[in-house]
Structure formats: structure tokens, C-alpha cells
Amino acid sequence: MKKIYTGKTKDVFELENGNVLLKFKDDCTGKDGKFDPGENAVGLTIEGIGRENLKTSIYYFNLLKNAGIKTHFVSANIEDATMEVLPAKVFGHGLEVICRLVATGSFVRRYGKYIADGTDLPGGYVETTFKDDALGDPLVTKDGLVVLNIMTPEMYDSMKAQTLEITKIVAADLAKKGMKLYDIKFEFGYAKNGEVILIDEIASGNMRVYKDGKLLDPMDLTKLILA
Ligand SMILES: Nc1ncnc2c1ncn2[C@@H]1O[C@H](COP(=O)(O)OP(=O)(O)OP(=O)(O)O)[C@@H](O)[C@H]1O
Ligand SMILES: [Mg+2]
């Protein structure tokens, strides 16, 4: 097994069958020992969190599969905290897709003159940012992605449509459990034939979720999702 990438929260290996193996670590992004999914550095280690994030990802990838949405998920080994996935190319040097159902966080920092924190964004609002720690993950538009030759307009449209559909499914699952999804972050990649699919993970660190008007921390959220 060849290691091809050392990520902040996962290591990536190449398998002999051509697939990719993601090894979930117990490292979390954050600052000064406090967990923060928005941080771009490893800030703390929480015993067992890698396995919990894997379980959450398996849960959601299966939910999507049952809804007829193809993702990179192939299989998992919870004991080893590993997930076998289809190999995908990432867009540019990595792209994050955010879907917002409620305005908060950086959206309100940017657009607070026009919208109050906590306002519903019916149907969901999609935005894309480059994974670039040094530049603080800058926003990029569809036109930007096309002009930079990172994707075709059709690929963007597919990615956006999938983002809205996947967000709806996750939000409905959380609502069933008494929670409200505010926003969620995804990664997409593309296969050799150009097909755009959801990759990486869907775990508590990728979403902002409220219960009884209070923001849930990732540990409590994980427990409620997997209950
Ligand atoms: N199916 C796949 N094929 C190829 N690479 C993948 C696939 N799924 C996920 N990846 C990549 O594996 C890496 C996992 O690393 P990790 O989650 O630790 O994130 P990172 O790159 O350090 O940064 P960040 O914290 O910003 O997500 C990511 O770079 C992600 O793009
Ligand atoms: Mg990541």
C-alpha cells in the first residue's frame, strides 16, 4: 500500500485494485486545544474521533446510495478506521462546496449589511471556495472555475444540483432526529469519464447543526446522528 497524501485528519493510500484508502485519524482541526471545523490546522487529538467520523460518513453515504445518489464510497473497516473509495481527481488544488440553509458565520460577516444572522435561505444557497490555507480559502464563482480551466460549466451544474439534493437528504435526516441543519461543506471530485461525484467524508465537523436553538458541538452531534 502506497501512501499518496498526508492530510490533516486523514491519510490517503493507493490500493492495488486501483481504489483509494482513506485512514481516519484522531486529529481534529482547531486552535489552542479547542475544536473548530473552520480552522486550517490540527489543534487537538480526540481519542476515537476518527472512527466516529468514519461511522458518520458510512451512515450518510449509505443514505445517499439508497436515495439513488452515486458517491465514491465502496466499503469500510471500522476497526482499522479505514474507508475504501473510488479514485477521483479533485478540482484544481481542492475545492470545497458549501450549502447554506440558514445565513450565519462567514456569510453574515460578508453580507451582514443585507441579511440578519439566522435568516432562512429557502431551498439552499451554494458557494464554492478553494482549499488554500495561505489565502484563507477564498471564494470562487462558477465563471471563475470555468475561466481557470478547473471545470466545465456542465460539471459545475452537476456539482451544484447534487449539492442541493444531498443537503436536502441530510437536513431531512437531522430534522427527523430533532435537529436543524444550518450549513454543510462537501468535496466533489471527478472520474476518468468526467462524471462528478461526492468524495471525502460527511461527518459532524463538516456541518453546523442546531438543537433547541443551540449550536451542537461535533461530539454531541455525532452521538445524536448515530443514536
Ligand atoms: N475519492 C478520493 N480520491 C482521491 N482523493 C480523495 C478522495 N476522497 C478524498 N480525497 C482527498 O483526501 C484528502 C483527505 O485529507 P484530509 O481530510 O485530512 O484533508 P486536508 O486535505 O488535510 O485538508 P482539509 O482539512 O482542508 O480538508 C483530501 O485532500 C481529499 O481531497
Ligand atoms: Mg478534509
Q: Convert the pLDDT of each residue in 189-215 to its tens digit.
A: 999 899 999 999 999 999 999 999 999
Q: Is 111 in the pocket of ligand 1 (CB under 6 A)?
A: no
Distance (angstroms) between ligand 1 centre and the Cα of 40 equals 13
pLDDT greater than 90 at residue 30: no
Q: Name the β-bridge partners of 202.
A: none
Distance (angstroms) between ligand 1 centre and the Cα of 212 equals 33
Determine the pLDDT at residue 99: 98
pTM for the full model? 0.95
Distance (angstroms) between ligand 2 centre and the Cα of 17 equals 23
Q: Is 197 in the pocket of ligand 1 (CB under 6 A)?
A: no
Q: What is the pLDDT of residues 78-123, one digit of tens each?
A: 999 999 999 999 999 999 999 999 999 999 999 999 999 999 999 9
For residue 70, what pLDDT band results from cuts at 50, 70 and 90?
very high
Distance (angstroms) between ligand 2 centre and the Cα of 8 equals 7
Q: Is 137 in the pocket of ligand 1 (CB under 6 A)?
A: no
Q: Is 106 in the pocket of ligand 1 (CB under 6 A)?
A: no
Determine the pLDDT at residue 37: 72
Between the alpha carbon of residue 26 and those of residues 8, 75, 119, 145, 181, the distances in Å are 10, 20, 34, 33, 24
* 224 or 41, higher pLDDT: 224
Tell me the average pLDDT across 126-136: 95
Determine the pLDDT at residue 36: 77
Determine the pLDDT at residue 39: 79
Ligand in closest contact with the CA of 15: 1
Q: What is the pLDDT of residues 3-12, one digit of tens each?
A: 999 999 999 9
Q: What angle do CA 176, 225, 159 make, to 5 degrees?
A: 85
Distance (angstroms) between ligand 1 centre and the Cα of 4 equals 11
Give the 3-state secondary structure of residue 39. coil
Tell me the average pLDDT across 42-71: 95
Reported as type and span, the H/E element at residue 207 is strand 207-211
